Amino acid sequence: MLWERLSVTGLESGLSGIGVCDVDPFDDVRLTLEDRKASGLAGGLTFTYNDPVRSTDITRSFPWARRLVVAAHPYVPDSGSPSPPKHGTGRVARFATADHYVPLRNALGRLATLLTDEGYRAETLVDDNRLVDRAAAVRAGVAWWGKSTMVLAPGVGPWILLGSVVTDAELPETEPMVRDCGTCDACIPACPTGALISPGVLDARRCLAHLLQAAGSIPIELREAVGDRVYGCDECLDACPPGQRLIQETGEGGGRIDLLEALELSDAALLERFDHFYIPRRRPGYLRRNLLVALGNSGGGEAEVTMAGGLLANPDPIVRSHAAWALGRLGGQAARNHLDGATRSEQDAEVVREIESALAQCEGSPAEAGH
Ligand code: B12
Ligand code: SF4
Ligand code: SF4
């Protein structure tokens, strides 16, 4: 039977789970998306939030759709785990240590070919704004909802990426899992910013994974909590018991960036090195912003101060603001000299405010005591 062949091919292609669900609209998710937009919890998120009606009803995009074949790709342990914090380095969440969506795309491609070879229509969707992937995975019995808002699967916990094939083949539907988190709530206190405000509810305005890939400034009151993170955040996943065994089996490697080396790259080289990151409008300043916050949190040294000082002259005001913040956080006379110099030439009102606040922070920093 076609479903058995799809299932075998999916598992042979490295998927950890595969299931089938109908294409009825995900009305509960549409209401949640609309509520979170209205209440502000969405924090300016785009993606599926842009058009909740479309993203929760696949037949709006594919009127011929009859089923979703939903797949989970386990990207850990391939991703490696970041080595322990090391001076001068930043951290990348496991899902982004490389483009871990590639094997998922390949597996879905094979499934789509099986369907089209049988004369059916089939389109692959990976992290696509036309589908709410987690809701599809839950309905197809590939995973269950966790209180972290992640969906979890047996043996791999939250460490899966999701994708689907939309088809007109009327495949048999698979049963949803009868599982939940039970009494566990480990992810909620593990979040460094309190972004999980209650089970299953994320305040994106406080979520570091969101802020590090959003446009604009990183809110000043959350920059220390960014720590050494440059892209993504794994804290609520690391805390999750169903994923523990996999993490323990995962060796270190792949998740560290030399901050000074990355800040020295040209625009083109920076975008090329991190071409699999989502960066709003591919504006390199947003990545430099993240690198500067991690640099400020790094504890510093002469080279770090010189780098941040030099970036006070960057043409992008987002970079200048975060360079000022990094200098304030690094502290010391040299940092202060850079900031003083910039006050004489800076024209952008927001950057001026950041410089003033950084100077005030320098006054209070231990390196300044006694001056
Ligand atoms: C927008 C988005 C984000 C946003 C918002 C995340 C969010 N929670 O909505 C930001 C940028 C913060 C983000 C971060 C991450 N993301 Co993201 N993201 C998406 C995207 C594009 C859309 C998600 C969406 O529509 N959310 C809509 C809201 C309404 O969903 P929700 O918050 O999950 O709400 C449901 C639950 O709250 C549940 N619920 C409600 N009440 C309750 C109560 C209880 C008790 C429970 C258990 C559940 C529950 O029902 C709601 C739906 O009705 C999808 C890709 C896609 N096209 O689907 C990837 C996706 C969700 N992201 C993914 C990943 C890997 C991540 C990160 C782990 C990356 C990282 N390491 O930094 C983090 C995890 C942060 C987190 N805790 O969610 C994977 C998730 C895989 C998985 N195993 O779940 C996806 C599916 C991408 C993919 N194709 O693999 N992401
Ligand atoms: S990704 Fe990080 S900041 Fe966002 S909810 Fe999870 S632990 Fe909190
Ligand atoms: S940490 Fe516990 S409560 Fe949170 S998602 Fe994992 S199992 Fe569920």
Per-10-residue mean pLDDT of the chain, 371 residues long, equals 97 98 98 98 96 98 98 96 88 96 98 98 98 98 98 97 98 97 98 98 98 98 98 98 94 91 98 97 98 95 97 98 98 97 96 97 62 34
Closest-lying ligand 1 atom to the alpha carbon of residue 133: 58
Q: Is the peptide bond before 77 cis (omega within 30 degrees of 0)?
A: yes
> Ligand 3 centre from 190 Cα, in Å?
10
35-39-44 Cα angle (round to 5): 95
3-class secondary-structure state, position 344: helix
Token pair 């595969």: residue: 18
Active site residue 127: yes
**Sheet with strand 160-167: strands edge to edge:** 17-21, 67-74, 160-167, 122-126
Q: Which residues contact 370 (CB under 8 A, 6 or more apart)?
A: none
Cβ–Cβ < 8 Å for 222, 208: yes
Residue spans per domain, the chain: 2-81+95-167
Residue 362's pLDDT is what?
87
Distance CA 148, CA 236 (A): 6
Residue 15 vs residues 76, 104, 161: alpha-carbon distances, Å: 12, 7, 10
Distance CA 202, CA 209 (A): 11
Determine if ligand 2 sits within 6 Å of the CB of residue 202: yes
> Ligand 1 centre from 212 Cα, in Å?
15
Determine if ligand 2 sits within 6 Å of the CB of residue 270: no
Cβ–Cβ < 8 Å for 334, 308: no
Distance CA 41, CA 95 (A): 24
Mutate to test the pocket of ligand 3, among 156, 185, 188, 247 (most ligand atoms within 8 A of CB): 185
Name the closest-CA residue to atom 2, ligand 2: 233
User: Which class for 39: exposed (0-12), middle (13-18), buried (19 or more C-beta within 10 A)?
Assistant: exposed
Closest-lying ligand 1 atom to the alpha carbon of residue 28: 53
| pTM: predicted TM-score of the whole model, two decimal places | 0.97
Residue 368's pLDDT is what?
45
Residue 366's pLDDT is what?
54
User: What is the rounded end-to-end Cα distance, in angstroms, of the chain?
Assistant: 80
Mutate to test the pocket of ligand 3, among 160, 177, 181 (most ligand atoms within 8 A of CB): 181
Per DSSP bridges, beta strands 89-92 and 229-231 are parallel
Of the candidates 301, 349, 290, the one whose C-alpha atom is nearest the C-alpha of residue 325 is 290
Of the candidates 142, 168, 136, 114, the one whose C-alpha atom is nearest the C-alpha of residue 1 is 114
Closest-lying ligand 1 atom to the alpha carbon of residue 208: 12
> Ligand 1 centre from 151 Cα, in Å?
8
At 191, list the tokens.
């979040």
* H or E element at residue 69: strand 67-74
Distance CA 346, CA 12 (A): 59
Side chain identity at residue 25, one-letter code: P
Closest-lying ligand 1 atom to the alpha carbon of residue 149: 33
